[in-house]
């Protein structure tokens, strides 16, 4: 069961305020009766809801975790390149899109979903969802770099980057690090290392918010999220706190 206004939003009839207007104008029928109350409860798959004469059909959102391999682009379609959706079985593809982007040469965790609201919340600059990456970097990474990452770096944007955590796993001519950033600017991690004179030669996303890459997945493989994983992501972004 869910509220009528949420049901209409999730079936593509607009934002909460647009849906409220439609209800006010008497455009919505539930089982043949005019419905005006946004809080009216709807049973998905049972109640027949018409909005402006069109049926609102509720399809359960799908959530997949993909281990994106290098060489694929984070897009739903591309004229030349292989996209992450090309890696899915055809039956799994419908309405899915990647939540954010990994560069073509980056790999690791990519969430694919049909839940536009969750995607929007996870990507919102206001939410500061942590993203954790493992990187191999040309150049000797030292504590001084970690301090600069924590202080915020000039990567050519209006504002410096938000404080980021840099954990040095190995320091050498090729260093290994774990980086946690709370924004998602274009080429963010590569640009942060470039700002301190290093070059990222391998980048893999390990985590996004509460969602960690399943270590049993190989590059190119994917699986559905568990109920717990979906719930945790929704809680993290405040989605579950809305009234049903
Ligand atoms: N930062 C980058 O530079 N590239 C990615 O793919 C992700 C984060």
pLDDT digits (tens, 9 = 90+) for 129-149: 999 999 999 999 999 999 999
Please tell me the distance between residue 63's alpha carbon and the centre of ligand 1 in angstroms: 22
Q: Is 102 in the pocket of ligand 1 (CB under 6 A)?
A: yes
Give the residue, by CA position, lying nearest to ligand 1 atom 3.
187
Please tell me the distance between residue 240's alpha carbon and the centre of ligand 1 in angstroms: 29
The pLDDT value recorded for residue 28 is 96
Q: Assess whether 103 carries a catalytic annotation.
A: yes
SS (H, E, C) the chain: CEEHHHHHHHCCCCCHHHHHHHHHCCCEEECCEECCCCCCEECCCCCCEEECCEECCCCCCCEEEEEECCCCECCCCCCCCCEHHHHCCHHHCCCCEECCCCCCCCEEEEEEECCHHHHHHHHCCCCCCCEEEEEEEECCCCHHHHHHHHHCCCCCCCCCCCCCEEEEEECCCEEEEEEEECCCCCCHHHHHHHHCCCEEEEEEEEEECCEECCCCCCCCCEEECCHHHHHHHHHHHCHHHCCC
Annotated catalytic residue within 47, 103, 130, 232: 103
- Ligand 1: residue of 164, 188, 208 to mutate (most ligand atoms within 8 A of CB) is 188
Q: Is 175 in the pocket of ligand 1 (CB under 6 A)?
A: no
Q: Compute the distance between CA of residue 38 and CA of residue 239 in angstroms, rounded to an integer.
A: 18
User: Six-digit token pair at 89?
Assistant: 């079985």
Reply yes or no on whether the pLDDT at 91 is more than 80: no
Please tell me the distance between residue 211's alpha carbon and the centre of ligand 1 in angstroms: 17
Q: Is 188 in the pocket of ligand 1 (CB under 6 A)?
A: yes
Give the residue, by CA position, lying nearest to ligand 1 atom 7.
102
Give the pLDDT band of residue 14 (cuts 50, 70, 90). Answer: confident
Across 50-59, 85-94, 209-218, which has the greatest mean pLDDT? 209-218
Q: Is 179 in the pocket of ligand 1 (CB under 6 A)?
A: no
Give the pLDDT band of residue 58 (cuts 50, 70, 90). Answer: confident
Q: Bridge partners of 83?
A: 73
Q: Is 234 in the pocket of ligand 1 (CB under 6 A)?
A: no
Q: Is 68 in the pocket of ligand 1 (CB under 6 A)?
A: no
């Amino acid at each position: 069961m869910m509220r009528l206004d949420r049901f209409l939003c999730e079936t593509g009839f607009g934002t909460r305020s647009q849906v409220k207007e439609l209800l006010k104008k008497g455009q919505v029928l539930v089982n043949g009766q005019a419905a005006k109350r946004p809080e009216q409860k709807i049973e998905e798959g049972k109640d027949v809801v018409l909005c402006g004469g069109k049926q609102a059909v509720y399809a359960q959102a799908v959530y997949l975790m993909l281990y994106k391999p290098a060489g694929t682009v984070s897009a739903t379609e591309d004229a030349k390149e292989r996209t992450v959706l090309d890696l899915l079985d055809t039956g799994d593809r419908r309405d899915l899109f990647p939540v954010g982007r990994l560069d073509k040469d980056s790999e690791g965790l990519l969430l694919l979903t049909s839940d536009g609201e969750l995607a929007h919340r996870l990507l919102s600059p206001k939410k500061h969802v942590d993203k954790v990456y493992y990187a191999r970097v040309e150049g000797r990474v030292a504590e001084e770099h970690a301090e600069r990452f924590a202080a915020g770096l000039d990567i050519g944007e209006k504002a410096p980057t938000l404080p980021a955590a840099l954990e040095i796993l190995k320091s050498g001519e090729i260093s290994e690090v774990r980086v946690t950033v709370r924004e998602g600017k274009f080429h963010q991690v590569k640009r942060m290392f470039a700002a301190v004179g290093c070059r990222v030669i391998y980048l893999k996303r390990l985590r996004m918010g509460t969602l960690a890459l399943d270590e049993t997945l190989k590059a190119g493989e994917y699986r559905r999220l568990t109920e717990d994983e979906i719930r945790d992501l929704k809680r993290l972004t405040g989605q579950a706190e809305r009234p049903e």
